[in-house]
Structure 1
Amino acid sequence: MADYAKTAAGVLAGVGGEENVQSVVHCATRLRFVLKDEAKADAAKIKAVPGVITTAQAGGQYQVVVGNDVPEVYAELGKISKLGGSGAASPAEDGPKGNLFNRFITMIAAIFTPLLWALAGTGLLKAFLAAAATFGWIDTVSSTYVVLYALSDAFINFLPLALAITAARYFKAAEFTSLAIAGALVYPTITQLVGAPDLTFFGIPFTMVTYVSSVIPIIIIVWLQSHAEKFLYAKLPGAIRRFVTPMIVVLIAVPLVFVVIGPISAILSGWIGTGIGWVFATVPWLGGALMGGLWQVFVIFGLHWGLVPLFTLEYQTSGQIMLLAPVFAAVLAQAAAVAGVWVRTRNRNLKSLAAPATLSGFLAGITEPAIYGVNLPLKRPFAFGIAGGVVGGALIAAGGVFATSFVVPSGLALPALFGNGSMIMLVIGLAAAIIIPFLLVVLVGFKDPAEDAVIAAEGTDLAVNSPLDGTVVPLSETPDAVFAGGGLGEGVAIVPRSGAVYAPFDATVAAAFPTGHAVGLRHADGAELLIHIGIDTVKLGGKHFDLKVTTGQVVKAGDLLVEFDLAAIAAAGYDLTTPIVVTNSDLYPEVGGAASGPIAHGEPLFFARAVESAIAAK
């Protein structure tokens, strides 16, 4: 049974504690932090927390990938801190803002994240209802159908109301004033004016456009509302500002939307929708191939949120979402790739990861466990999954297939595509997306950890040479509780006397931290070693460090990995005690033969011994 409280506590400590967190929300698989200082986050420490798959930094957020259990971890986070809750993230006012693109992605993720499951759930219901109507399983004129349609369509229909709340929380505006503005946009008598001629507001002519399911107008007006409220609260007397402020804001904001923002956003939305329609009408296979191939790459960096508004805009302008159909191919292709790993691998640990990741990907469309836990580390399965997504997405788009509701692409959500376009091309496209990566993984294969596992027996221990010149001290004397307690693995520490780190054995660089303060190495036998120069030196942000290698680079024993300014780091107040630990202690639990006292780089430091279950039956 997973210990969600332990995971939440470990993650919170890893990101620098509650005091370093400006805000946090969660999506389908990730905790998305906006940190005041990202340099205080310790990626290695977070990844070592039970229940954490990996970390990522993108879109102005520090993302901790947890997988399907993220709601439970998020809930526990709210219990042990003042973070969490149902609100959307707020922009970091006293933290780094990042560039405009990063801030846009942060905003989109924060505003749409709380709505995701309601959109997906009601969209899935609408998809099943549409399938039932298509196959004649339900009478579309019956009261039962009317009730079910209302249940499935209401949320997307009144989406501006939901966005008013999340946008108000993000921009720190008055939520119920935002709700009053959104309510006016979808008020029945207002919607009846759509398309009516000769409309004026105090003599100012305007054209009424539909705000049903709209996105852009309410987000823009709530942003303006937040600034207007700050101004009015500062200028109005305290006795009247609490009720006069919302009155003035609503009186100005709603007509402003009708006269200016709405028509302009409608034009822009129309252009975007027309552009999407042109690509999928003129070269549909190309649009499908791009969506099918790039979607999972966007997911890795958390940039797929930038496409969510396009889905809603396309739906608003045309009542269908062509962009969404090829994404089914992308999702199912990665699920098929991890299924291939499940079938082919001889590594028990990898099988235990691949099995639930396969089911999660196929049924729920949650691919992060498959991507981060299996496909991406193995490289080939991820590439094969992209290939399947490209082919499948191109075929689906070529068949003119589209979705009639917003759903999370998955096997269970396929009814959203039924009856929309060529069903033959949909079946062929999905089959290609699944069969291509599965067969490539099974037949072509990948570098199975079981094939390269260390043959751990007497006389076959892995020898680790010293990467530094200095003095060896027990790991328990390291002035960091996580290292000292063996939380990141067993090993020793060295107090360096010179500013150079060398490869302790032939290896592949598994992680070359941009800050230069740490390097992760992977031996061909499977052992993983972390060399962490100093304590908390990540806070230097790379200052005084000169990284000589890159992630994925192959190095030989004695190759220079990092140079650092010993005196400058010490003068900055940092302890230079350098832990050297074997991080995959599940396979290498025993470290012995440790040296002591003065040592030079290249001299024997310790040996690592694998467990008997790691012996490969070659």
Structure 2
Amino acid sequence: MASVDYRSLAADILKEVGGEENVSSAVHCATRLRLRLKDESLANTETIEKLPGVITVMKAGGQYQVVVGDNVPRVFAELGKISRFGTEDAQEDAPAKGNLFNRFIDMVSGIFTPMLWPLAGSGLFKAFLTMATTFGWAQPTDQTYVILSAAADALFYFLPVFLAVTAARRFKANQFTAMAVAAALVYPSIIALAADGKPVHFAGIPVVMMSYTSSVIPIIVAVWLLGYLERFLQQILPSAIRNFLVPLLSIAIMVPLTLMTVGPVTTFISTGISHGVSAIFGFAPWLAGAIMGGLWQVFVLFGLHWGFVPLMANDLATLHYSIMFGPVVPAVLAQAAAMLAVALRSKSAKRREVAAPAALSGFLAGVTEPGIYGVNLPLKKPFYFGIAGGAIGGAIAGMGGSAATAFVFPSLLSLPAFSQVGSFAVLMIGVLAAVLIAFLLTFFFGPREQADDAVTAAAPAAPVATPGSVTVLAPVSGAVVALADVQDKVFASGAMGAGVGIVPEEDAVYSPVSGTVKAAMKTGHAYGIKSDDGVEVLVHIGIDTVQMKGEGFAPAVARGDRVEAGQLLATVDRAKVLEAGYDTTTLMVVTNTKDLTAVVPLGAGRLTHGVPALDVEL
């Protein structure tokens, strides 16, 4: 495969399946391009099978599958350069199955994942600046502080622009066009129109303005629509003018459309909620406090919190305090407490590295975005436990009449702003209750993630191989199936190499060799490992499980990682795989079999993970 021209191969495949216009979608798994064709009769299958680098072609599950082998990511990358079918990131981040709310959470978390570290760093930066002003080490009017504040706050202020990039990857829109739409939403003159409060019209149509700085949902919705608009324009516009007219029309349509739809809808909903909560404070402060404390982070997630800002600001201007602020403190600190519990409880070093600084920025600066999108939302339960703690703590704060006398980010360092109105002692009880509830529930009942480099103690060490041979271990425990008998045409034919199938009896999958992970699908269903001796092993969990889009799979390693024989690769919920209608058989093949002297299966009947399964003669 080293001599294969992958750009030419991608172009030839695209041509022989009937051209780009005959392809509805294109993704890839560990070994094959998976195309959905509008008309399969237009595909020249015999010609494709003869292309250099193609192993075979198979049709299954409504897909036209071109089997390429380990180098399929390179072919797919080249396909993305010559067609509209996106990039590696776009296809690997496909939405998971499940109920609508879970899919929404998975989508938002996936969009935020690439920027988690900058978010965590900026949040911590803001926490340190808040601490500096609280203790009098710096003044907000100092020029040095202004510059540092801009550096710390820029990512949050221009968050829609950053989200446009990752959302465009997911929704297969042009990244730079998406950024242009996002930038227009936070353009100074647009911000000024929103702040001015005067009626705004576009072509005679009234436009309800709102601030889009730091917002999340509006740009995600806008980019989602942008993807459809771009694909429509690509199909109807002549090729001679398509390159410049598609972005021109996309920007010209999407910016006014977003301002005229997202703005009014968001403003209407948020204003209604804020006035409703404000009315409840009048006759049932504990109930209003529970709503504010429990749902504040949900409001922030959807950008609905902006509806409360004018009421809070008006209260501060007229009454010199705002009672709506009080329950927000437990809400924020409860989510930070859940992050702290994850940082202490999770066995995943990668998760802890995000959770710890995110918790610190939440406690000290009231900045919860890094932890919400990188920890609590992806794990779900910590987010729910934070809501529970915030609701109870908010109800207590509401009963105490706690209010803020300044417009601040609710945090530990801003607590002095809540000491003048209402019962500060009751507020502290509410904060403590919120923190303890969120922390203890997450610590004891939250998800217990596996260690990133977990090695099973029960797995026996690989035997010392004789000179010129390598022993490949069983990745799972279970009944052995001859490769020729597995329910997958490509693997059964031996086209991918010699190996073995095992029907697993457990949910953990382990590395069969010591070496480097050369391929790790983010869907968690397949891993390619090159051993220290040059043996290339593919571990494929289940048959056709790429269709599950990662649901039920929990990867423990990533591409480029060093692994030892017996180290955990992933865990899989076999019940979900079976429920989805897929075969759980784990396939292990040596993909460079043709370069080796022999690959001989060693076991029959049943194997335990970690025992020899294949003998490879170099």
Scaled by the length of structure 2, the TM-score of the pair is 0.46
